[in-house]
Amino acid sequence: MLVKKHMVRGNMALCAAVGLSFIAPLAHAHVLPVAPKMRPKVIILTAFPPEWHAWTEQKSFDHRVAHVPGLMTPLICDSQGVCVTETGEGEINAAVTVASLVKDVALDVRKTIFIRSGIAGGVQAESSALGSVYINSWVISWAFGHHYLNDRKQLAWLPPGCADYAAPGHCGAYTRNLYENLAYKINPALLSMAVKASANVQLEDSPEARKLDKLFGVSTSPKVMVGATITGDDFWIGKEEQTIAERIVRLYTHGEAQYTNTAMEDLGDVAALSRFGLADHYLSIRGISDVDLPPPGKTEEEIWKTGDLYAGALAERNAVIVTKAVIAHLLRAPA
């Protein structure tokens, strides 16, 4: 004990000599209170300014602003715990944003529902009018689909994710493969809730969209449907590419889903969430802004020069309508 007393006195003398105050024992220290964490009920993910502005023009999101490291824009929230941010376009930006949200020390997102809400390219189908909204049941990788194509643009003989390369007939373990991020099935219970919540919503239409629909032989009005989205960062158009997308979706979902829309962020969202055990907290809601085939009478080369025939504003408005209906249901549900 004598040695310890001398050590303490020596330390006090040293501190005094260099002008430092001696640190009091922890029993007498004042512990600062820890600020409570934000616990968003919903985080809406938007990709680029038109999608972001569709939500930020609503003054309700001025209630609270959080500056989260790793985000391009602040996380803005309303008084009910619904927040929105802009991730930037593409899988990488989406994944970085979602991972930043999950890991931020000021946030607790263990019970948060993440909703990707925005526009997407659609397929040429009589039932899929421009402005229609898909609540997606699967998120599929477009890039990995091409990775497994041979030089004839046919799906290679070996499906991805095989443990035994000598037995291609025994493959099929690629769904939710964390190492390859090929395909994610949306939580069926969450999907069912979203479909029921939006069953009676009234989507908008526009004269401009109806004119474009007529070019593609579509006579129906926009409606809410369930489909599968394929995610890729490159732009494509044409029957050959659409056929490849259809085959990729059939393969990766074991024939369970049908390709209906394509976008750029969803795979990055859900892949990041899956690393933290939160993949079942994700929804993808996409409004159809254009068709990934040229209309009759136009060539792919003409579309490359002039751009897609586009109904982006209508698609975004309808995606917001459906997303709001889903959020309203979530807020009414017991905690």
pLDDT in tens, 100-136: 999 999 999 999 999 999 999 999 888 899 999 999 9
Q: Is residue 107 part of a domain?
A: yes
| Cβ atoms within 10 Å of 171's Cβ, excluding its own | 15
pLDDT of residue 129: 92
Residue 301: is its pLDDT beyond 60? yes
Asked whether 128 and 122 are in contact (CB, 8 A), the reply is: yes
Cα first-last separation, the chain = 56
Residue 254: is its pLDDT beyond 80? yes
Which tokens is 291 given? Answer: 């068709």
- In the chain, pLDDT over 90 holds for what percent of residues? 55
Coil/strand/helix, residue 120: strand
pLDDT digits (tens, 9 = 90+) for 160-215: 444 433 344 444 444 444 446 788 999 999 999 999 999 999 999 999 888 888 88
Say how far residue 109 (Cα) sits from the centre of its chain: 15
Asked whether 64 and 106 are in contact (CB, 8 A), the reply is: no
Mean pLDDT over 20-43 rounds to 66
In angstroms, rounded to a whole number, what is the distance separating the alpha carbons of residues 31 and 312? 53
pLDDT digits (tens, 9 = 90+) for 56-106: 988 899 999 999 999 999 999 999 999 999 999 999 999 999 999 999 999
Amino acid identity, residue 70? G
Distances (CA, A) of 287 to 154, 252, 302: 29, 23, 24
Q: Is residue 3 part of a domain?
A: no
Coil/strand/helix, residue 149: strand
Least confident of 8-22, 27-41, 93-107, 253-267: 8-22
pLDDT of residue 304: 63
pLDDT of residue 29: 54
- In the chain, pLDDT over 70 holds for what percent of residues? 76
Closest CA to 261 of 144, 137, 174, 155: 137
Q: Is residue 161 part of a domain?
A: yes
pLDDT of residue 30: 61
pLDDT of residue 156: 56
Mean pLDDT of the chain: 82
Q: Is residue 12 part of a domain?
A: no
Q: How many structural domains are present in the chain?
A: 1
In angstroms, rounded to a whole number, what is the distance separating the alpha carbons of residues 133 and 170? 36
Contacts of 15 (CB under 8 A, 6+ apart): 21, 22
In angstroms, rounded to a whole number, what is the distance separating the alpha carbons of residues 279 and 230? 17
**Comparing 237 with 53, which gets the higher pLDDT?**
53
pLDDT of residue 333: 82
pLDDT of residue 31: 60
In the block, tokens 């890039």 appear at 143
Mean pLDDT over 305-316 rounds to 79
pLDDT of residue 152: 63
Mean pLDDT over 228-233 rounds to 94
Q: Is residue 20 part of a domain?
A: no
pLDDT of residue 248: 86
pLDDT of residue 22: 38
pLDDT of residue 294: 76
Residue 281: is its pLDDT beyond 50? yes
Q: Is residue 5 part of a domain?
A: no
pLDDT of residue 307: 60
**Comparing 258 with 169, which gets the higher pLDDT?**
258
Asked whether 265 and 45 are in contact (CB, 8 A), the reply is: yes
- Read off φ and ψ for residue 249, nearest 5 degrees: -65, -45
In the block, tokens 């995606």 appear at 319
Query: What range does the domain containing 214 cover?
Result: 33-332
Q: What is the DSSP string of 281-303?
A: GEEEEEEEEEESSPPTT--HHHH
Q: Is residue 126 part of a domain?
A: yes
pLDDT grade for 143, boundaries at 50, 70 and 90: confident
CATH code (residue 297)? 3.40.50.1580
Q: Is residue 291 part of a domain?
A: yes
